[in-house]
Amino acid sequence: MKLSGKVALITGSGSGIGKAAALLFAKEGASIAVSDINLSSAEQATEAIKQLGGRAIAIRADVSDAGDVDMMVDKVIKELGGIHILVNNAGIPGENLPTIESSVEHWDKVVRVNLRGTYLCSRRSGQWMVSNKAGKVLNIASIVGLAGFVARASYGPAKAGIVNLTQTLAVEWAKYNINVNCIAPGFVMTPLDGDLIRSGRLNLELIEKRIPLGHRAQPDDIAKAALFLVSDDARYITGVTLPVDGGWLAYGDVCAK
Ligand code: NAP
Protein backbone atom coordinates (compact mmCIF):
# COMPACT_ATOMS: atom_id res chain seq x y z
CA MET A 1 0.00 0.00 0.00
CA LYS A 2 1.34 3.41 -1.03
CA LEU A 3 -0.02 5.55 1.84
CA SER A 4 0.24 3.31 4.92
CA GLY A 5 0.37 5.30 8.14
CA LYS A 6 -0.38 8.61 6.43
CA VAL A 7 -3.13 11.07 7.30
CA ALA A 8 -4.77 12.85 4.36
CA LEU A 9 -7.04 15.89 4.62
CA ILE A 10 -9.08 16.27 1.44
CA THR A 11 -11.31 19.32 1.14
CA GLY A 12 -14.60 19.09 -0.72
CA SER A 13 -14.39 15.30 -0.49
CA GLY A 14 -18.09 14.66 0.04
CA SER A 15 -18.52 14.58 -3.74
CA GLY A 16 -16.86 14.10 -7.14
CA ILE A 17 -13.09 14.11 -7.50
CA GLY A 18 -12.44 14.61 -3.77
CA LYS A 19 -14.61 11.64 -2.81
CA ALA A 20 -12.90 9.43 -5.41
CA ALA A 21 -9.51 10.47 -4.01
CA ALA A 22 -10.68 9.84 -0.43
CA LEU A 23 -11.77 6.28 -1.29
CA LEU A 24 -8.61 5.54 -3.29
CA PHE A 25 -6.23 6.95 -0.65
CA ALA A 26 -8.08 4.96 2.04
CA LYS A 27 -7.62 1.75 0.00
CA GLU A 28 -3.90 2.63 -0.08
CA GLY A 29 -3.79 2.73 3.74
CA ALA A 30 -4.26 6.42 4.57
CA SER A 31 -6.53 7.72 7.33
CA ILE A 32 -8.81 10.29 5.77
CA ALA A 33 -10.26 13.56 7.02
CA VAL A 34 -13.28 14.02 4.76
CA SER A 35 -14.01 17.72 4.82
CA ASP A 36 -16.84 19.46 3.02
CA ILE A 37 -19.14 22.45 3.37
CA ASN A 38 -21.96 19.89 3.28
CA LEU A 39 -21.72 17.73 6.43
CA SER A 40 -24.11 15.01 5.29
CA SER A 41 -22.12 14.32 2.11
CA ALA A 42 -18.90 14.24 4.17
CA GLU A 43 -20.53 11.75 6.55
CA GLN A 44 -21.68 9.55 3.65
CA ALA A 45 -18.16 9.45 2.19
CA THR A 46 -16.76 8.66 5.66
CA GLU A 47 -19.22 5.78 6.01
CA ALA A 48 -18.17 4.42 2.60
CA ILE A 49 -14.52 4.47 3.70
CA LYS A 50 -15.34 2.70 6.96
CA GLN A 51 -17.23 0.02 5.03
CA LEU A 52 -14.02 -0.63 3.08
CA GLY A 53 -12.26 -1.17 6.43
CA GLY A 54 -10.61 2.26 6.38
CA ARG A 55 -10.30 4.99 9.01
CA ALA A 56 -12.00 8.34 8.42
CA ILE A 57 -13.57 11.32 10.14
CA ALA A 58 -16.08 13.80 8.70
CA ILE A 59 -15.66 17.56 9.21
CA ARG A 60 -17.91 20.38 8.08
CA ALA A 61 -15.80 23.35 7.01
CA ASP A 62 -16.02 26.21 4.53
CA VAL A 63 -12.51 26.51 3.08
CA SER A 64 -12.96 30.24 2.45
CA ASP A 65 -13.54 30.92 6.16
CA ALA A 66 -10.31 31.26 8.16
CA GLY A 67 -12.00 30.26 11.43
CA ASP A 68 -13.44 27.09 9.86
CA VAL A 69 -10.03 26.21 8.40
CA ASP A 70 -8.30 26.60 11.77
CA MET A 71 -10.95 24.42 13.42
CA MET A 72 -10.68 21.81 10.65
CA VAL A 73 -6.90 21.51 10.79
CA ASP A 74 -6.87 21.41 14.62
CA LYS A 75 -9.46 18.62 14.57
CA VAL A 76 -7.49 16.56 12.05
CA ILE A 77 -4.27 16.87 14.07
CA LYS A 78 -6.05 16.08 17.34
CA GLU A 79 -8.11 13.13 16.10
CA LEU A 80 -5.84 11.60 13.45
CA GLY A 81 -2.40 12.64 14.75
CA GLY A 82 -1.13 15.00 12.03
CA ILE A 83 -1.51 16.05 8.40
CA HIS A 84 0.88 14.30 6.03
CA ILE A 85 -1.17 15.01 2.90
CA LEU A 86 -3.41 17.96 2.06
CA VAL A 87 -5.51 17.93 -1.09
CA ASN A 88 -6.98 21.37 -1.83
CA ASN A 89 -9.91 20.11 -3.88
CA ALA A 90 -12.96 22.11 -2.75
CA GLY A 91 -14.14 24.40 -5.49
CA ILE A 92 -17.11 26.02 -7.15
CA PRO A 93 -17.73 26.79 -10.83
CA GLY A 94 -18.02 30.22 -12.42
CA GLU A 95 -21.21 31.67 -13.90
CA ASN A 96 -20.05 31.13 -17.52
CA LEU A 97 -21.50 34.48 -18.57
CA PRO A 98 -19.86 37.00 -20.90
CA THR A 99 -17.62 39.16 -18.71
CA ILE A 100 -19.60 42.36 -19.34
CA GLU A 101 -22.73 40.60 -18.02
CA SER A 102 -21.03 38.88 -15.08
CA SER A 103 -21.52 39.89 -11.45
CA VAL A 104 -18.83 41.24 -9.16
CA GLU A 105 -20.39 39.31 -6.26
CA HIS A 106 -19.95 36.03 -8.11
CA TRP A 107 -16.35 36.91 -9.06
CA ASP A 108 -15.59 37.55 -5.38
CA LYS A 109 -17.19 34.24 -4.35
CA VAL A 110 -15.34 32.16 -6.95
CA VAL A 111 -11.97 33.69 -6.06
CA ARG A 112 -12.76 33.41 -2.36
CA VAL A 113 -13.58 29.69 -2.39
CA ASN A 114 -11.16 28.48 -5.06
CA LEU A 115 -8.06 30.63 -4.48
CA ARG A 116 -8.35 32.02 -0.96
CA GLY A 117 -9.56 28.60 0.23
CA THR A 118 -6.45 26.93 -1.21
CA TYR A 119 -4.24 29.55 0.41
CA LEU A 120 -5.93 29.30 3.84
CA CYS A 121 -5.82 25.48 3.98
CA SER A 122 -2.20 25.36 2.74
CA ARG A 123 -1.09 28.05 5.20
CA ARG A 124 -2.67 26.36 8.22
CA SER A 125 -1.71 22.77 7.31
CA GLY A 126 1.74 24.02 6.27
CA GLN A 127 2.39 25.15 9.84
CA TRP A 128 2.19 21.50 10.96
CA MET A 129 4.12 20.22 7.93
CA VAL A 130 6.95 22.78 8.30
CA SER A 131 7.43 22.00 11.97
CA ASN A 132 7.42 18.27 11.19
CA LYS A 133 9.63 18.70 8.10
CA ALA A 134 7.44 16.53 5.89
CA GLY A 135 4.35 16.86 3.79
CA LYS A 136 2.60 16.64 0.45
CA VAL A 137 0.26 19.36 -0.76
CA LEU A 138 -1.77 18.74 -3.89
CA ASN A 139 -3.88 21.49 -5.41
CA ILE A 140 -6.70 20.96 -7.87
CA ALA A 141 -6.74 23.71 -10.49
CA SER A 142 -8.21 23.30 -14.00
CA ILE A 143 -7.24 23.51 -17.66
CA VAL A 144 -9.35 26.68 -17.52
CA GLY A 145 -6.51 28.20 -15.46
CA LEU A 146 -3.92 27.29 -18.11
CA ALA A 147 -5.50 28.80 -21.24
CA GLY A 148 -8.11 31.36 -22.21
CA PHE A 149 -11.70 30.12 -22.11
CA VAL A 150 -14.59 32.38 -23.15
CA ALA A 151 -16.85 33.54 -20.28
CA ARG A 152 -14.53 32.24 -17.54
CA ALA A 153 -13.20 35.54 -16.14
CA SER A 154 -13.63 34.45 -12.51
CA TYR A 155 -12.95 30.69 -12.54
CA GLY A 156 -9.98 30.84 -14.94
CA PRO A 157 -7.98 33.51 -13.08
CA ALA A 158 -8.79 31.87 -9.72
CA LYS A 159 -7.43 28.56 -11.02
CA ALA A 160 -4.41 30.29 -12.61
CA GLY A 161 -3.70 31.76 -9.17
CA ILE A 162 -3.67 28.23 -7.75
CA VAL A 163 -1.06 27.22 -10.35
CA ASN A 164 1.22 30.05 -9.22
CA LEU A 165 0.52 29.39 -5.54
CA THR A 166 1.68 25.83 -6.20
CA GLN A 167 5.03 27.08 -7.52
CA THR A 168 5.37 29.66 -4.75
CA LEU A 169 4.81 27.17 -1.94
CA ALA A 170 6.90 24.49 -3.66
CA VAL A 171 10.00 26.69 -3.68
CA GLU A 172 9.32 28.14 -0.23
CA TRP A 173 8.75 24.77 1.45
CA ALA A 174 11.23 22.57 -0.45
CA LYS A 175 13.75 22.96 2.37
CA TYR A 176 11.19 21.48 4.77
CA ASN A 177 10.80 18.31 2.66
CA ILE A 178 7.33 19.35 1.51
CA ASN A 179 6.26 18.65 -2.07
CA VAL A 180 3.62 20.98 -3.52
CA ASN A 181 2.05 19.99 -6.81
CA CYS A 182 -1.12 20.58 -8.76
CA ILE A 183 -3.46 18.78 -11.13
CA ALA A 184 -5.32 20.62 -13.88
CA PRO A 185 -8.29 18.41 -14.73
CA GLY A 186 -10.08 18.75 -18.03
CA PHE A 187 -13.81 18.05 -18.06
CA VAL A 188 -14.82 15.49 -15.44
CA MET A 189 -18.15 13.76 -14.86
CA THR A 190 -19.10 15.21 -11.46
CA PRO A 191 -22.01 17.33 -10.18
CA LEU A 192 -19.84 20.51 -10.44
CA ASP A 193 -20.96 21.65 -13.89
CA GLY A 194 -24.50 20.18 -13.66
CA ASP A 195 -26.26 23.56 -13.52
CA LEU A 196 -24.14 24.97 -16.36
CA ILE A 197 -24.93 21.96 -18.56
CA ARG A 198 -28.67 22.04 -17.73
CA SER A 199 -28.87 25.77 -18.46
CA GLY A 200 -27.04 25.36 -21.79
CA ARG A 201 -24.03 27.46 -20.69
CA LEU A 202 -21.84 24.39 -21.33
CA ASN A 203 -22.42 22.27 -24.42
CA LEU A 204 -21.42 18.66 -23.73
CA GLU A 205 -21.51 17.61 -27.36
CA LEU A 206 -19.04 20.32 -28.38
CA ILE A 207 -16.86 19.59 -25.36
CA GLU A 208 -16.58 15.86 -26.06
CA LYS A 209 -15.81 16.53 -29.75
CA ARG A 210 -12.94 18.79 -28.66
CA ILE A 211 -11.31 16.16 -26.37
CA PRO A 212 -8.74 14.04 -28.28
CA LEU A 213 -9.52 10.97 -26.16
CA GLY A 214 -13.18 11.54 -27.07
CA HIS A 215 -14.88 11.61 -23.67
CA ARG A 216 -14.87 13.35 -20.30
CA ALA A 217 -12.86 11.94 -17.39
CA GLN A 218 -14.24 9.88 -14.56
CA PRO A 219 -13.43 11.22 -11.04
CA ASP A 220 -11.20 8.18 -10.56
CA ASP A 221 -8.99 9.25 -13.51
CA ILE A 222 -8.09 12.36 -11.51
CA ALA A 223 -7.82 10.45 -8.21
CA LYS A 224 -5.24 8.05 -9.70
CA ALA A 225 -3.01 10.95 -10.80
CA ALA A 226 -3.50 12.47 -7.34
CA LEU A 227 -2.36 9.24 -5.68
CA PHE A 228 0.84 9.30 -7.71
CA LEU A 229 1.61 12.93 -6.82
CA VAL A 230 1.07 12.50 -3.06
CA SER A 231 2.99 9.21 -2.89
CA ASP A 232 6.73 8.72 -2.53
CA ASP A 233 6.82 7.68 -6.20
CA ALA A 234 6.71 11.44 -6.90
CA ARG A 235 9.26 12.43 -4.23
CA TYR A 236 11.46 14.35 -6.73
CA ILE A 237 8.53 16.21 -8.27
CA THR A 238 7.56 19.59 -6.86
CA GLY A 239 6.02 22.78 -8.24
CA VAL A 240 4.42 21.14 -11.28
CA THR A 241 0.90 21.32 -12.65
CA LEU A 242 -0.11 18.10 -14.38
CA PRO A 243 -2.95 18.36 -16.89
CA VAL A 244 -5.25 15.31 -16.71
CA ASP A 245 -7.42 16.33 -19.62
CA GLY A 246 -7.65 13.62 -22.29
CA GLY A 247 -5.31 15.70 -24.47
CA TRP A 248 -7.38 18.92 -24.41
CA LEU A 249 -4.41 21.29 -23.97
CA ALA A 250 -2.27 19.41 -26.47
CA TYR A 251 -4.87 19.82 -29.22
CA GLY A 252 -4.17 22.69 -31.60
CA ASP A 253 -5.83 21.44 -34.77
CA VAL A 254 -9.11 22.85 -36.05
CA CYS A 255 -8.91 21.63 -39.65
CA ALA A 256 -8.47 17.84 -39.64
CA LYS A 257 -11.46 15.51 -39.90
P1 NAP B 1 -18.12 18.58 -6.90
O2 NAP B 1 -18.56 17.19 -7.16
O3 NAP B 1 -19.11 19.68 -6.91
O4 NAP B 1 -17.27 18.60 -5.54
C5 NAP B 1 -16.86 19.78 -4.93
C6 NAP B 1 -17.16 19.68 -3.46
O7 NAP B 1 -16.66 20.87 -2.82
C8 NAP B 1 -18.67 19.60 -3.18
O9 NAP B 1 -18.94 18.62 -2.20
C10 NAP B 1 -18.96 21.00 -2.66
O11 NAP B 1 -20.07 21.05 -1.77
C12 NAP B 1 -17.68 21.32 -1.93
N13 NAP B 1 -17.54 22.74 -1.66
C14 NAP B 1 -18.03 23.79 -2.38
N15 NAP B 1 -17.72 24.94 -1.78
C16 NAP B 1 -17.02 24.63 -0.67
C17 NAP B 1 -16.43 25.39 0.36
N18 NAP B 1 -16.51 26.73 0.38
N19 NAP B 1 -15.79 24.75 1.36
C20 NAP B 1 -15.72 23.40 1.36
N21 NAP B 1 -16.26 22.62 0.43
C22 NAP B 1 -16.90 23.23 -0.58
O23 NAP B 1 -17.03 19.02 -7.99
P24 NAP B 1 -15.71 18.32 -8.58
O25 NAP B 1 -15.86 18.33 -10.03
O26 NAP B 1 -15.40 17.06 -7.87
O27 NAP B 1 -14.65 19.45 -8.21
C28 NAP B 1 -13.52 19.24 -7.41
C29 NAP B 1 -12.43 20.21 -7.86
O30 NAP B 1 -12.06 19.91 -9.21
C31 NAP B 1 -12.88 21.67 -7.86
O32 NAP B 1 -11.83 22.47 -7.37
C33 NAP B 1 -13.12 21.97 -9.32
O34 NAP B 1 -12.96 23.32 -9.63
C35 NAP B 1 -12.04 21.09 -9.95
N36 NAP B 1 -12.30 20.78 -11.36
C37 NAP B 1 -13.41 20.11 -11.73
C38 NAP B 1 -13.61 19.86 -13.09
C39 NAP B 1 -14.83 19.13 -13.59
O40 NAP B 1 -15.02 19.07 -14.83
N41 NAP B 1 -15.66 18.55 -12.74
C42 NAP B 1 -12.68 20.30 -14.04
C43 NAP B 1 -11.56 20.98 -13.60
C44 NAP B 1 -11.37 21.21 -12.27
P45 NAP B 1 -21.51 21.43 -2.39
O46 NAP B 1 -21.82 20.39 -3.43
O47 NAP B 1 -22.41 21.41 -1.21
O48 NAP B 1 -21.36 22.79 -2.99
pLDDT tens sequence across 22-35: 999 999 999 999 99
Q: Ligand 1: residues whose CB is within 6 Å?
A: 11-12, 14-18, 36-38, 41, 62-64, 89-92, 113, 117, 140, 142, 185, 187-188, 190-193
Ligand 1 atom nearest to CA at 216: 40
Domains of the chain: 7-187+218-243 (3.40.50.720)
Helix axes 16-27, 219-230, angle to 10 degrees: 50
Tell me, yes or no, if 155 is annotated catalytic.
yes
pTM greater than the 0.85 cutoff: yes
- Centre of ligand 1 from the C-alpha of residue 140, in Å: 10
Q: Which of 13, 34, 37, 119 to mutate to test the pocket of ligand 1 (most atoms within 8 A of CB)?
A: 37
Ligand 1 atom nearest to CA at 217: 40
pLDDT tens sequence across 151-204: 999 999 999 999 999 999 999 999 999 999 999 999 999 999 888 889 988 899
b/e map 20-57, b = 16+ CB within 10 Å: bbbbbbbbbebbbbbbbbeeebbbbbbebbeeeebebb
